[in-house]
A and B are shown apart, each in its own frame.
Chain A
Amino acid sequence: MSKRVVIVGGGVGGTIIANLLAKKMRPELKKGELVIDVISDKAEHFYQPGLLYMLFGMKYYEELVRNEIDLLDPMVALHLHPAIKIDKDKNEVHLKNGVIIKYDILVLATGSRPAPEMIPGLKEGGNWFYEVEACRKLRHELMTFKGGKIVLTIGLPHKCPVAPLEVSYMMDEWFRQRGLRDKVDYTYTYPIGRLHGLESVAHFAAKTFPKHGINTETLYNMKEVDPNKKTVTSLEGVTLKYDLLITIPPHKGAQVIEDSGLGQNGFVPTDKFTLKMEGSTNIYVVGDTTNLPISKAGSTAHFESDIIVENIASELRNGLTPFRYDGKVFCFIETGLSKATYIMFDYNNPPNPVTPSALIHWFKLTYNKVYWLTPMGIL
C-alpha cells in the first residue's frame, strides 16, 4: 500500500518540500510506494520579495512569476483547486471541486496575506505593496506624488519584518534622485518602543535614519484611519495627518485553516523544534502558517523545509523523526537603491547587521534572478 504526502500550499515552503522530498524519495516514487501531492489555489508562483523592487519600477510583474507546474518535479501531482476543509481526524483534505484527498502525512504551507480590513478605514485610506495590484496602485501614487506628508504604519503580525525599513531607505533615495526629497515629509512609525523588533537592527536604524531625514514615531499601533480627513490614529492616542498613507497591513493566515478549526486567524499552533502541529503526529506546518513568534519570511520557510523533508523521509523509511529546527532565519536588508546589509540568526544567536555595501546589494539583485532555484530544491 503506497503512502501519501499531501502539501497544502504552492508557495516557497510547499514547493521546496515537494521537490526535495521527490528527489530524496525517488526510488519509492518510482516503485509507486509513495505519492506526493501539492494543492494550490494559484497556477502561478510569484516571488513576493520582488514587490519591493516593482514598487520603484525596478522590476516588472512578468519577471517575478513562473508557472507552478514548471517549478515542480514531474513526479509531484499538482491539484489547482482550493482546499476548503481539512479534516485532521479523518486525514482528509477537501477540495472546492468536490475531490477528497486522503493523506498519511500532511504539510500545511498555506501562508499569510495582508488583511487591511482588520483596521477600520485602512483598506480605503491606506496603500501597501505586499500584493501585486496594491503594489501597482502605490507605484502609481509614488510616480505622481508631488510632495507632502508620507506616513508609514505597521500592523501585526506581518511578513518580511525588514521590508518597512527597506522601503523607507529606498524611498528616501528614490525621491532624492527625482529631486523631490525636500518636498517630502516622511514619518516611519513602529509598534514598539524602538525602530525594529530586532534590537541590533533598531540601533542600526536609529543611527542611520537621521541622515536619511526620516522622522519616527514609536509605540504606534493603528486603531483607525479616516480616509476623508486623511488621518491615522493609534491605540496609544496619537493622530497623524498624511497626504499618502503607506502601510504594512496586519496579516491573516488562510481561510481554510480557520474554517477547519486548526488555528486562530489562520495560524496553526506549532512545535518550534519539530514543526509538527501541536497535538498531531502526522501534520507538519511550515513558514508563515505557523503561529511561532519568529520572522514570517521566505528564508524561514526555506530552512524549516529542510528539516521537515528530512523528518518525513526518515519517518517513511525507518519510523524516526530526529531532526530539529534551530530557528535559523536569513534576511537581506536594502539600505537604499545601491547598498544592502544582511542578518542571520537562530533561537540561540541574535543577529548583528554588517556594514552595508554595494556587494551585498548586488548579491541580493542576483538572488532575485536565481530565486527560482530555491523552490526547485536546487539552491
Chain B
Amino acid sequence: MTEEELKQIKPTVTVDARGTYCPGPLMELIKEVRQQPVGSVIELISGDAGSAKDVPEWINKVKQEFLGVIPEDGYWRIFSKKVKDM
C-alpha cells in the first residue's frame, strides 16, 4: 500500500512499543496478531529501525498480510493484517 493509503487506515488495535526494550516490538506484535480476530489491522509503533525489516519477515513467514510502513520522525508506524487463523 502507498503511504497515503496507509494513512487512511483505521487500525483495529495500535501497539505503541516506543521506548520499551523488553519484550520488544516484534514480540508485542506477535502477541497481538495471535489474539486479535481474523480481519484485524494491527498498527505497531516502534522506535527500533530493525522493526521495519523484522515485522514483514515474520508476517510473511506466517502467511499473514504485511500492509506497509510509514516512517515518522524517529519512529516507524508498521501496519499488518490478520487474514487467517493461526
Chain A residues near B (Cβ < 8 Å):
156-157, 161, 191-193, 197-199, 201, 219, 221, 223, 235-237, 264-265, 272, 292-295, 327, 329, 345, 347-348, 350-351
Contacts and interface: CB of A to CB of B under 8 A. Distances in A.
A295 B23 contact: yes
Nearest to B53: A193
A293 B57 contact: no
B30 A294 contact: no
B3 interface: no
Nearest to A201: B22
Nearest to A331: B22
A64 to B, nearest CB: 25
A265 B61 contact: no
Interface string B19-32: 11111111110110
Contacts of B31: 156-157
Given A192-B54, A265-B35, A345 B27 contact: no
Given A156-B30, A197-B27, A264-B35, A235 B22 contact: no
A294 B27 contact: no
Given A156-B27, A219-B61, A221-B30, A161 B35 contact: no
Nearest to A291: B15
A197 B58 contact: no
A197 B54 contact: no
B86 A294 contact: no
Interface string B25-58: 1111011001100000000000000000010011
Contacts of A327: 19-20
Q: Chain A: interface secondary structure?
A: loop
A197 B61 contact: no
B24 A197 contact: yes
Interface residues of B, number: 23
B22 A292 contact: no
B9 interface: no
A197 B19 contact: no
A293 B61 contact: no
Contacts of B21: 197-199, 345, 350-351
Given A157-B31, A235-B62, A347-B20, A293 B15 contact: yes
A350 B19 CA distance: 9
A193 B29 CA distance: 13
A294 B54 contact: no
A237 B31 CA distance: 18
A201 B15 CA distance: 23
Contact of B30 (A161, A191, A199, A350): A191
Contacts of B30: 156, 191-192, 221
A157 B21 CA distance: 14
B17 interface: yes
Q: Which residue, B15, B16, B20, has most C-beta atoms of chain A within 10 A? A: B20
A264 B61 CA distance: 26
A294 B22 contact: yes
A146 to B, nearest CB: 35
B62 A156 contact: no
A317 to B, nearest CB: 31
B53 to A, nearest CB: 9
B20 A294 contact: yes
Contacts of B19: 272, 327, 347-348
Contacts of A193: 26, 54, 57-58
Q: Ordered nearest first, which 3 A-B pairs have the shortest CB separation?
A: A347-B19, A197-B24, A197-B23
A329 B62 CA distance: 32
B64 to A, nearest CB: 10
Contact of A293 (B28, B62, B86): B28
B49 to A, nearest CB: 12
Q: Which residue, B23, B26, B35, has most C-beta atoms of chain A within 10 A? A: B23
Q: Which residue, A198, A264, A294, has most C-beta atoms of chain B within 10 A? A: A294
